[in-house]
């Protein structure tokens, strides 16, 4: 008896119609978006982008999962030197360029 083969139709992914720079701008706001710290109009804009961009949508899902995992872990104890180094790093990053 001959083996019967079937063909599956593969759904193409939606075209990525906006520039990669748009995705970078969105990614910079994702943490605040996930924490509900953005105004409603900006949230609407992000949701619209995520609905049209499978790459960003996948990234958001991964970020949400990472945040959930981290929330259930105790913060590690830091030495005084580690705290000082971290504080200096934060202050250096916050300086205007």
Q: What pTM value is reported for the model?
A: 0.51
Q: What is the pLDDT along the chain (97 residues), one digit of tens a residue?
A: 555 555 555 555 555 566 667 788 888 888 888 888 889 898 898 889 888 888 888 888 998 898 888 888 888 888 999 999 999 998 888 777 6
Q: What residues does each domain of the chain span?
A: 20-73
**The pLDDT of residue 63:** 86
Backbone CA torsion sign across 49, 21, 60, 17 = positive
**The pLDDT of residue 90:** 86
- Which of 73, 75, 70 shows the shortest CA–CA distance to 34? 70
**The pLDDT of residue 96:** 73
Alpha helices in 1-97 (DSSP H): 20-34, 40-52, 54-71, 80-94
Put residue 36 in one of left, alpha, beta given phi > 0 → left and psi -120 to 50 → alpha: left
**The pLDDT of residue 97:** 64
């Amino acid at each position: 008896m001959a083996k019967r083969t079937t063909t599956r139709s593969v759904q193409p992914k939606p075209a990525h119609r906006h520039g990669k720079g748009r995705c970078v701008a969105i990614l910079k706001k994702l943490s605040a978006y996930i924490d509900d710290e953005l105004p409603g109009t900006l949230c609407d804009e992000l949701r619209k982008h995520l609905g049209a961009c499978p790459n960003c949508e996948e990234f958001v899902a991964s970020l949400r999962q990472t945040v959930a995992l981290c929330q259930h872990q105790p913060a590690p104890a830091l030495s005084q030197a580690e705290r000082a180094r971290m504080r200096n790093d934060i202050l250096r990053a916050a300086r205007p360029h």
